[in-house]
Each structure stands twice: as structure tokens, then as C-alpha cells.
Homo-oligomer: A and B are copies of this chain.
């Protein structure tokens, strides 16, 4: 059979940076300290293409993805990111003409959590991972990995709370009682979606549960599937005792990381992104930042 992909291009002589598959869904089995997790992951994988080839042999991508991912049904992998790294390395093996391979994956992830022990249930999060493999002139392969997660929580607005306090003080003079000075008052609050991603060197690792915990602590409050009446009150109260702008979510999240991940080197870069689906507007507000652990440590000093 004619190998059309290996032929020279009809027109133009360009190296193409990225050719691959996207939106491919696969079941992936991950074993962690807390047990086995069955994920459904979405993958995107690509390699570059030299100028003398018409096409990239994409069926190899589907084959190797199947091999690496299907194998986890019997031999679970350690993490979504570990699967991405294996795939990225193998892409360079099977595409000998390529110099770069990139893999991105996301997968829903359930954790049993609850406002109290007896009200635990599965809460859903998103795991995020990337791996970029690059072949050097001497054939050695370098790897860059990104690991992270997204968590949905709640933010309450600190500005509207102060404006409402002033208005309520006008309407209700009894509120001026000194014992009510720190009374949490009404504000708008809403669903908030926050991502945190670590660009990791070498053998550095982060535990996704710690990533999720860090995000939830930076929001005004985590949210829960099961909330009986009293719990609901406590969650609302907690959120209004920690009112946060999206700016606060990003700042509190990032500035707390050196303490949570003391072993990560200064060269680790983190990206935080948060979006509040405002209850008082039809649009969202958001904030994002990218910074190294070194800068974070210096800014805290």
C-alpha cells in the first residue's frame, strides 16, 4: 500500500509544530495510597512534523494510547500525569521524524468528603496533567510535566458586604451595638471554579489531594453534596466569615503554597486561575497568575 503520509508535501515546505489527536476518551486506572481510582480521561496528543513529510502517522498515536492506557486495567498507573509522561516518551519512539511530543489530559475525579463524617459523599473535581517530551540533538529525551486540579467552591464578596453593612447600619441603628461590630452581613456569593497547575522539574511530585485541599482553603468555603439544615447554615456562615474577591483567591492560594509544598524547588512554576460565576451579573469575573516558587518565597520573606 502506498504510504501517502511519508510522501513529500504537495505544496509548501514547512515544519508543522503540532499534529495529532484530540477529544479522545479513555478509561484509565490509577492506584494511589488511598486505593484504586477508575478515571475517564480526555486526551490530546501531538508531535511536530518535518518539512519533507506530507503527514504524521496518526494511527500510531491511537495505538500507543490504547496500549499504555488499556494496560492500566491490569496494571494501574500511579497518576494521570505518569500516563501522560509515558505517552509523550513513546510518541517520540514511534514518530522517529519528530523532535517534540505533547500530551494533555483531564479527568473527572471523585473524593469522598463531607461537612461531617456521617454526611460524606462523593464530590467531583477535575484532574489536569500535561507532558512535553523533547528530543535533543544527541537523541536524549527531556521531559517537562505539569500536574494540577480544578475544584468548585464558593466565594462571598467582601466589597458588597461592607456596602450592605453601611446601608443596614443606616436602616437599623440597633446594629451599631459594639458587640455586633464583626457580625457577618449579607453579600453576594456564588459558584467559583479554581485551577492550580504545577510545572514540575525532574522528579518533583505533588499530591493532587493536597492541590485540591489548597484550592478549597483559598475559596470562601468548599461546597458539599449533602447539607442538612444546620450544615447549610455553617457553610454559609463560614463563607461570609471569609469573604474573597477572585484576586484574594489567587493571592491566598499562591502565597500559601510554599508552606504546603516545602520540598518543591524554587524553579517550580505554578499557574492559578479562578472564575466566579457572579450571582449579581450575567457574566463571570476571574483572575489568573503564573509565578515560580522562588518568587513566592521571596515575596513572603
Contact = CB atoms under 8 A, between A and B. Distances in A.
Interface of A: 1-5, 9-14, 16-27, 38, 40, 46, 49, 51, 54-56, 58-59, 62-63, 65-66, 69-70, 108, 110, 112, 119, 121-124, 152, 154, 157-160, 162-164, 166-168, 172-175, 177, 179-180, 183-191, 221, 223-230, 232-237, 239-240, 245-248, 250-252, 254-255, 275, 277-291, 296, 299-300
A183 B175 contact: yes
A289 to B, nearest CB: 5
Given A16-B251, A162-B2, A287-B16, A188 B280 contact: no
16 contacts: A1-B163, A1-B230, A13-B299, A14-B250, A19-B247, A23-B284, A24-B282, A24-B283, A49-B247, A54-B158, A159-B232, A164-B233, A173-B179, A177-B177, A190-B190, A223-B281
Contacts of A184: 168, 186
Contact of A124 (B10, B254, B282): B282
A204 B191 CA distance: 40
Contacts of A254: 12, 14
Contacts of A154: 188, 279-280
Contacts of A275: 22
A124 B282 CA distance: 8
Given A174-B180, A229-B159, A223 B14 contact: no
Contacts of A300: 12
A126 to B, nearest CB: 11
Nearest to A183: B172
A168 B180 CA distance: 10
Nearest to A164: B233
Contact of A19 (B152, B164, B227, B246): B246
Contacts of A236: 160, 163-164, 186-188, 280
